[in-house]
Amino acid sequence: MEQNIIETDILIIGGGTAGCLAAVEVRERFPNLSVTIMEKAHIDRSGCLAGGMNAINAYLNPGETPESFVKYVRFDSCGLIREDLVLSMSELFEYCVKKVEKWGLPILCDEKGNYIPRGRWNIKINGESLKPIIAKAAKNAGTKVLNWVVASNYLVVDGRVVGAVGFSVRNGNMFVVKAKATIIATGGAAGVYKPNNAHDAQHKTWYCPYNTGAGYAMGIRAGAEMTSFEMRYIGLRVKDTIAPTGTIALGVGAPQINSKGEKFMATKYAHIGGDGAPTPYRSHGPLQEIKEGRGPVYLDTRHITSQQARDLKSAFLDMYPSMVLYWAANEIDPSKEPVEVQTTEPYIVGGHTQSGYWVDVNRKTTLEGLYAAGDVAGGAPYKFVSGCWAEGVIAAKQAGEYAQKNDFTEIPASLVHKEQDRAFAPLLSFTNKKDGIKAYDMEVRLQKIMEEYAGGAATYYEINEERLLVARRRLATLPDQFKHIIAEDLHELMKAHEVIDRVYVAQTLVEHMLYRKETRWPGYCTRTDYTERDDEKWLNFVNSRRDPDTGNIEMLTRPYVQIVPGDRYKPR
Amino acid sequence: MPVIIHADKCNGCHGSNNPPCIRMCPGDLLMKDSKTGKILMRDPAECWDCLPCVKVCPQEAIEFRLSYQLGFHTARLLPHIHDTRDFITWELIDTKGDIDKFTIRTKILPVELDEKVEGVAPVDFSI
Ligand SMILES: Cc1cc2nc3c(=O)[nH]c(=O)nc-3n(C[C@H](O)[C@H](O)[C@H](O)COP(=O)(O)OP(=O)(O)OC[C@H]3O[C@@H](n4cnc5c(N)ncnc54)[C@H](O)[C@@H]3O)c2cc1C
Ligand code: SF4
Ligand code: SF4
C-alpha cells in the first residue's frame, strides 16, 4: 500500500458547498498559503449540490436585515439558536451570492434586474450546474484537490489538529496530509435511521446519502465538543420521492390539508403561524393528523394554473429531476390533484437544524487548529446553501490567520500507523478471514436499533427514557463488532467507514436525546415523558464530549445568549 | 433500477480511465468494465437519482429510470444539453408515450474526457 505524504498550509476536508467557498477565500485573502481539499467523491459533483439547486434559501431580500433574519430563525427554531453565529453568517449572504453569480450561476431577475424572491428569505436560481461552477472556482484559485480520498481521522498532536488521514477509493493509496490549520466541511449525516424507501430505492433519500457523518465522527473520536444533536431534522417532503416541499409550498403557496380537506395547520396551529409555523411544527402537525386517522396529508396545489404546474416542474428539474418523472410515471397532475407528503427519516444536519461542532463566532471548534463550516457545524440553523458558503468564508479567514502564526508539527509515526491499521482493517479482515459482517449488514442493524428505540418513523419519531436506554445498550455493542467488518474492495472499504462513522453519530445522538428532558421541537424530538417546552430549565444548549481515552460521553449545557431583542417566539 | 447504461451507445470515452460519468457520481457508483471498456453500475440500490452522470455523458448513453416501486413503466426523462451549453432541454415521456419538453437556462462547464488520479497506481489493492 502506497503512502503519500502531503504538506499544505490549510487542509479542507469535504469539497462541497462550504469547502469550495472556503478554498477560494483562503487563496484570495492569503495568496501565500497553500490549500488542499480532501474529497471522498469528485468535487465537480459531490455532496448535497450534486443534483443542482433551484433556490438560495437564505438571503436578505429588500427590507430584511441580519437582525430580522435572526428573529425569524430564532422563531423557526423554537426560541433557541446561537444568535452570534446566525448574525455573522447572514452578514455575508450578499457577499457570497454576488461572488457565485460572478462565477456564472444564473440567478432569476425581474425586468429591473432585481432578484426574484420566493417567500421571505429565498431567491430563485437556475442552479442545475451550481456544483461544477463553485468547484471550478476552487480549482482556478489554485487549490490542490485530492478527489476520491475518504478522510478517516484527524491527526491530533498535543490536543492540536495538525492534519488528517484518508484513503483513496481509486487506488488504495493512503494520504497523510499535514496541515497548519484544518477546516472540516463534510456535511451532515443520512442513513443513521431506516430510510423512507427500501430495496433498490433505499437511497432515494432527501439528504445526500453519501454524507454519512464523517466530520461529526472524526470530531467525536478526537474529543471535540458537539452541540444539539437532539435537534434532528425530520423534514416534510413529497411522498415517495422525498423531494423538498419548499419548491411547492413557497413556490405556489400550497397549504397543508388532511384527507378530509381540512387546512389543519391554518386552524390548529394558527397561534404559531399556521402554515408558516416553525419548521418542526410543519412536520409535527401532519404527523398528528396521520396518527389520529386523518391521513394521507397533502399540499393543496389544486388552485394552480397549468402554467404554474409547468413552472413547478421546471423548478424541480433544476434540483430534483426525479420528482418530475415520478409525476409522469404515476399520471399525477399537480394542478388537478394535491401533492401527497410524508416526513423523512431523521437526519443530522447542522444547516437545517443545528447539530454539529460547538464553534465560536470564528467557526473555531474546541480543538486547536480545527475550524468547522456548513452542515457539520452546529448552533446556526437555517444555513442552507448561502449560510454554508458564509461559514466557509468565515472559517477560511480564521484558519488562514491561524496558519500564518503556527507552523507544521512533527507527526509521530505511531499515530499514522495506528490509523493505517484502523482504516484498512476491513480489507485485511476480508483477505484473512473471508467470513464477517458486510457494511450493509451493520448499516441495517444500526438503522433497526435507531428506528425502533430512538424515535424512528414507525413510532412517529417519539422517544422516551426507557426506549432510549435500550438504544444506548444495543449501540454500545456495535463498536466491538467493527473488527468483524469485511470489505472486498475499496468501494466497500468506504462503505465500512461510512457505517462506522454513523455508529459514533448515533451514540452521541442518543445521549443528547436522553439528556434534554423537555419537548422543545415537537416532531424533531418529541419526548412522551417530558411533553412540554421548559424554558426555565432547558433554555440552553445540550453539548457532549467523548473522552478519546475512555470512550465515555460527558454531557454538559451551555447558556443561550440573546443578542437581538424581542419576543423569541415571534417571527418579526 | 435507477440508472441504466446503454452499452450500445457508450464508447468508453475513447479509452478514458476516469470518464466524465465516473467522475460526476457523488456516490462513486459507476465503474469501468475492464474487459469491454464500457461502464457498469456498481449497485442500483446505492443510487441517489441525482443525474449528473446522465447529464454529462457526451453519448447520452446513460438513462435514468425510477425504481419500479416508485413509478410505472415506461415513463422516461431525457436531458439534452444544447451545444451552446447555456440551456438544457428535458424530454419527459409519460406512461402513455406523450412527450412534454422543458427548456431551462443553465451554465454547463466543459469537461475533459479523462483525468488523472492523485497518488501512485497500486500493485495490489489488498495489503
Ligand atoms: C436535495 C437537497 C436540496 C436542497 N435544496 C436547497 C435549495 O434549493 N436551496 C438551498 O439554499 N439549500 C438547499 N439544500 C441545502 C443545502 O444544499 C445544504 O445545506 C448545503 O449544500 C450543505 O453544504 P455542506 O458544504 O455542508 O455539505 P456538502 O455540500 O454536501 O459538502 C460535503 C462534502 O463533503 C464530502 N465528504 C463527506 N464525507 C467525506 C469524507 N469522509 N472525506 C472526504 N470528503 C467527504 C462530500 O462528498 C461533499 O462533497 C438542499 C439540500 C438537499 C440535500
Ligand atoms: S460518459 Fe458516457 S460514453 Fe463516456 S464512458 Fe461514461 S457512459 Fe460511456
Ligand atoms: S444518478 Fe447520481 S448517484 Fe446515481 S449513478 Fe448517476 S450520478 Fe451516481
Cα(B81) to ligand 2 centroid in Å equals 15
CATH at residue A467? 1.20.58.100
In a domain, A106, yes or no: no
Whether pLDDT at A378 is above 60: yes
Ligand 3 close to Cβ of residue B53 (< 6 A): yes
In a domain, A190, yes or no: yes
Is the pTM of the predicted complex or chain greater than 0.95?
A: yes
Cα(B13) to ligand 2 centroid in Å equals 5
Cα(B18) to ligand 2 centroid in Å equals 10
pLDDT the model gives residue B122? 63
Model pLDDT for residues A443-495, shown as the tens digit of each residue: 999 999 999 999 999 999 999 999 999 999 999 999 999 999 999 999 999 99
Domain ends where: A294, A321, A343?
A343
pLDDT the model gives residue A428? 93
Whether pLDDT at B125 is above 50: no
Q: Give the sheet arrangement for strand A117-118, strand by strand.
A: A53-56, A122-127, A117-118
Model pLDDT for residues B28-83, shown as the tens digit of each residue: 999 999 899 999 999 999 999 999 999 999 999 999 999 999 999 999 999 999 99
pLDDT the model gives residue B1? 62
- DSSP secondary structure code for residue A264 in this structure: H
Q: Are B127 and A201 an interchain contact pair (Cβ–Cβ within 8 Å)?
A: no
Give A10's contacts (C-beta < 8 A, 6+ positions apart): A26, A33, A34, A35, A36, A179, A180, A181, A182, A183, A396, A399, A400, A403
Same domain (yes/no): A370, A460: no
Look at the domain B1-71 and name its fold. Alpha-Beta Plaits (3.30.70)
CA-to-CA separations, A291 to A274, A408, A454, in angstroms, rounded: 19, 57, 18
Whether pLDDT at A34 is above 60: yes
- Residue B43 phi/psi, 5° resolution? -160, 110
Whether pLDDT at A370 is above 70: yes
CATH at residue A405? 3.50.50.60
Helix axes A306-319, A322-329, angle to 10 degrees: 130
Same domain (yes/no): A479, A445: yes
Which sequence positions of B are flagged as catalytic?
48
Model pLDDT for residues A83-92, shown as the tens digit of each residue: 999 999 999 9
Whether pLDDT at B121 is above 90: no
pLDDT the model gives residue B127? 38
In a domain, A272, yes or no: yes
Ligand 1 close to Cβ of residue A485 (< 6 A): no
The answer to whether B104 and B80 have CB atoms below 8 angstroms apart is no
Residue B63 grid cell: 438513462
What amino acid occupies position A140?
N
In a domain, A90, yes or no: no
Model pLDDT for residues A386-410, shown as the tens digit of each residue: 999 999 999 999 999 999 999 999 9
Mean pLDDT of A327-348: 97
Closest to A331 (Cβ–Cβ): which among B77, B94, B106? Answer: B94
In a domain, A86, yes or no: no
Kindly identify the ligand whose nearest atom is closest to the C-alpha of A319: 1
CA-to-CA separations, B7 to A114, A312, A543, B24, B71, in angstroms, rounded: 46, 34, 52, 19, 24
| Domain enclosing residue A458, as ranges | 414-538+552-557
Same domain (yes/no): A175, A251: no
Same domain (yes/no): A438, A379: no
**Complex ipTM, two decimals?**
0.96
Domain ends where: A343, A366, A401?
A343
Instruction: Choose the mutation target among A169, A210, A242, A322 for the interface with B, i.e. most B CBs under 10 Å.
Output: A322
Same domain (yes/no): A375, A435: no
Mean pLDDT of B5-23: 96
Mean pLDDT of A100-112: 97
DSSP readout, A508-553?
HHHHHHHH--S-SSTTTSEESSS-S--HHHHSEEEEEEE-TTT-PE
Q: Are A318 and B93 an interchain contact pair (Cβ–Cβ within 8 Å)?
A: no
Model pLDDT for residues A161-170, shown as the tens digit of each residue: 999 999 999 9
Nearest alpha-carbon partner for B79 in B109, B49, B51: B51
Nearest alpha-carbon partner for B22 in A149, A440, A45: A45
What value does the mean pLDDT of chain A take? 97
- Residue A186 phi/psi, 5° resolution? -90, 10
Write down the domain spans for chain B: 1-71, 72-110
Distance from CA of A135 to the nearest CA of B (A): 11
Nearest alpha-carbon partner for A462 in A340, A291, A347: A291
HEC-encoded secondary structure of B70-127? CCCCCCEEEEEECCCCCEEEEEEECCCCCEEEEEEECCCCCCCCCCCCCCCCCCCCCC
Q: Specify the long-range contacts of residues A62-65, CB closer than 8 Å, at least 24 apart.
A: A62/A114, A64/A120, A64/A121
- Return d(Cα A191, Cα A347) in angstroms, integer: 7
Query: Per DSSP, what are the bridge partners of residue A178?
Result: A7, A163
Q: Are A104 and B47 an interchain contact pair (Cβ–Cβ within 8 Å)?
A: no
Same domain (yes/no): A255, A364: no
Domain ends where: A391, A412, A433?
A412
Mean pLDDT of A500-527: 98
Same domain (yes/no): A494, A509: yes
Indicate the number of domains in chain A.
3
Same domain (yes/no): A259, A324: yes
Same domain (yes/no): A44, A157: yes
Q: Hey, whose CA ends up nearest to atom 2 of ligand 2?
A: B57
CATH at residue A281? 3.90.700.10
Same domain (yes/no): A358, A428: no
Mean pLDDT of B103-127: 82
The answer to whether B55 and B109 have CB atoms below 8 angstroms apart is no
Ligand 1 close to Cβ of residue A13 (< 6 A): yes
Q: Strand, coil or helix: what is A267? A: helix
pLDDT the model gives residue B120? 82
Q: Which residue of chain B comes nearest to A200, CA vs CA?
A: B45
pLDDT band with cut points at 50, 70 and 90 for residue A249: confident
Q: Which residue of chain A comes nearest to B106, CA vs CA?
A: A126
Same domain (yes/no): A360, A257: no
Same domain (yes/no): A448, A512: yes
By percentage, how much of chain A surpasses pLDDT 90? 98
By percentage, how much of chain A surpasses pLDDT 70? 100
The answer to whether A509 and A447 have CB atoms below 8 angstroms apart is no
Give CA A42 to chain center in angstroms.
19
Whether pLDDT at B116 is above 60: yes
- Return d(Cα A458, Cα A296) in angstroms, integer: 15
